[in-house]
Amino acid sequence: MHRAQHAVPFLWRMHATHHSIRELTAWNCNHHVSEPLIYAALVALPLALIHFESGVVPVVAMTLITFQGHLSHSSTRINLGPLRYIIGDNKFHRIHHSMEPHHRHRNYGFFTTIWDTIFRTAYWPKKNEWPEVGLRNQPEPLTVRNYIMFPFDRRRWRRAKAGSDVGAGA
């Protein structure tokens, strides 16, 4: 799903709201208000069709994923040691949000690094690598109105087409 959000222009415009944030924290790791609906249709509904013997498994899994989402967007520099090659930490995911061109199309995973390793999109940050985040040609929304309208602002996207952020992901 996350890869599709970077590849499909309509999904990218929604997801870009999240990528426009200039300071990642555990509190602003949420996405555009429309994204839960997209996730419900494309992720949660298909998962609900899988039969689990116990309702505990999905609850525990969603709790861990939610915790990991907050951790991977936090501004603390937590080092997981060798576990970082399996479990994504905030340094790994920060590369995904980086403004640096050589970080583009890297580190899509925030719960695990395994898929990035398999698909060769993993970039292992150096010890003190902590790049600036956000979209180079897009200011982050600072009001509720701008936040809600971010994906629908035609002027914003026309200006961005002159840059390199539209559809490219950050």
**Domain-located, residue 11:** yes
**Domain-located, residue 74:** yes
User: How many structural domains is the chain composed of?
Assistant: 1
State which residues form the domain around 122: 2-162
State whether residue 135 is helix, strand or coil: strand
Give yes or no for a contact between 84 and 94, defined as CB atoms under 8 angstroms apart: no
**Domain-located, residue 105:** yes
In sequence order, which ranges of 50-162 are alpha helices (DSSP H)? Answer: 56-72, 90-97, 114-118, 144-149, 154-162
Q: What does the pLDDT profile of the chain (170 residues) look like in tens digits?
A: 888 899 999 889 889 989 999 998 887 777 788 887 887 777 777 777 776 666 666 777 778 878 888 888 888 888 888 999 998 899 999 999 999 999 999 999 878 999 999 999 999 999 889 999 999 888 888 898 988 898 988 877 776 665 544 444 45
**Domain-located, residue 112:** yes
**Domain-located, residue 168:** no
pTM, 2 dp = 0.82
**Domain-located, residue 169:** no
